[in-house]
Amino acid sequence: MDSLLLTIVSFSVALGVLITVHEFGHFWVARRLGVKVLRFSIGFGSPLLRRVSRVDGTEYVLAAIPLGGYVKMLDEREAPVEDPAERARAFNRQSLPVRSAIVMAGPLFNFLFAILAFWWVFVSGDSGLRPLIGEVNEGSVAQQAGFQPGEEILAVGGERTPTWESAVYALLSESLDHRQLSIRVRDASGGESIHRLDTQGIQDMAQEGQLLHNLGLVPKRPRLEPVIGELLPGEPAEQAGLKPGDRLISVDGKPLEDWHAWVEYVRQRPGRPLQLKIERDGQERSLVLVPKAVDSQGKRIGRIGASVQVPPDLMAGYRAEIRYGPVEAVGQSLKKTWDLSALMLKMLGKMVVGKVSVKNLSGPISIADSAGKSASYGLIYFIKFLVVVSVSLGVLNLLPIPVLDGGHLFFFLIEAIKGSPLSEKAMETGQKLGMLILLAIMGLAFYVDLNRFLG
């Protein structure tokens, strides 16, 4: 229940922030270029909050349906402007460059938000797991390419990869432009070598975040000793007599090597008594523990209500931090935003021509799920999630589809070429076509989401 609440709240906050950023772009540029704004609305439908400015009469609205927003400007095509003094402030009376700037401002503010957010992350310091390889699955693509356990991925193509996150991003990005990738690695002895990886199908391997698994690479993680940390009151572990600091020696006569093996053993035995041998204060003891049966993602698993004791230096050697000074962070933020935008545009283009599966699409369910997960990891992770969605909104809104900002810009381009605006009938037909295309894309994304979570 708490997880669902966090997902709903995080998704709502993400929508609110990014819609406000986008619409504020239209609003701010329109005001600066002398166009009168009648309403600035976050959301659609009945107003929940409403305020009218005493200075220029602009109505600020927070509406009930938080799935978008809009900026309504004075426009003679929508209603007659009675006051002659106000007609010069109507949107339709502005020059083509002014109208184009106002329309383009929304997506540009999404990119500006991404740049500022990346700058904050880089200056604050972004940490992640070093791309150390723990295992290479038998018969996998990675094994065929020559990857070995213990190697660290240093660079993919020309892109440095200090963390697993940057390595996955580089694999996706570089694979769109090259038939074969050169991946530089360093082994445990410090020697460096190059592995060649065929890029065929890498984008489809990334579906549902399974790129590393599908390549056959298992990240190296620190070994957790099977020692009890904290206990939840009233749960099976406490009821059985376990205490913080207890070391688990064996279960049902089988030695326990690490915490992961213990967790898997418990999960597979809901409701079954386990004969547990532990060490406490230098002495061995025996006890019986019965894991509680709980439902998790449609499966029945065992849970005991205990966490592992984590040594303070556990992550030493496994973590990498990316941090830049305020000036250097500006260039890095611009580059990161550009690279992310280019990656999304390339992926969309390859989806259209059928070279990348539409299963890579994310609909509202996936986005909401990602919002909740990133928020649970911490502020920096949530900010990076906002950046990805903000760049996505910027790229999608610039596509030449009527209804979107890119569609309006496409109409303006035709107007510039022919020397006069399109007829109202042509624009109306274009808007209807654009709405159909948009609904089809949204329906496809929603269908992919349902298959991902239910199938």
- Which residues have a catalytic role annotated? 23
Structure tokens at 78: 């929508």
Gap between the Cα atoms of 448 and 455, Å rounded:
10
Gap between the Cα atoms of 44 and 67, Å rounded:
7
Residue 395: how many CB atoms within 10 A of its CB?
21
The alpha carbon torsion through 130, 312, 307, 385 (nearest 10 deg) reads -40
132 secondary structure, DSSP code: B
What angle separates helix 405-418 from helix 424-454, to the nearest 10 degrees? 150
C-alpha pair distances (Å), 129 with each of 213, 220, 321, 340: 16, 9, 9, 20
Residue reference for tokens 């042509």: 426
Structure tokens at 405: 């900002």
Contacts by residues 258-261 (CB-CB < 8 Å, ≥ 24 positions apart): 258/223, 258/224, 258/225, 258/226, 259/224, 259/225, 259/226, 259/227, 259/308, 260/224, 261/226
Are the CB atoms for 317 and 98 separated by under 8 Å?
Answer: no
H or E element in which residue 444 lies: helix 424-454
Gap between the Cα atoms of 150 and 135, Å rounded:
8
Residue reference for tokens 């503010």: 109
Gap between the Cα atoms of 185 and 197, Å rounded:
12
Residue reference for tokens 């007829």: 423
The alpha carbon torsion through 108, 21, 398, 422 (nearest 10 deg) reads -100
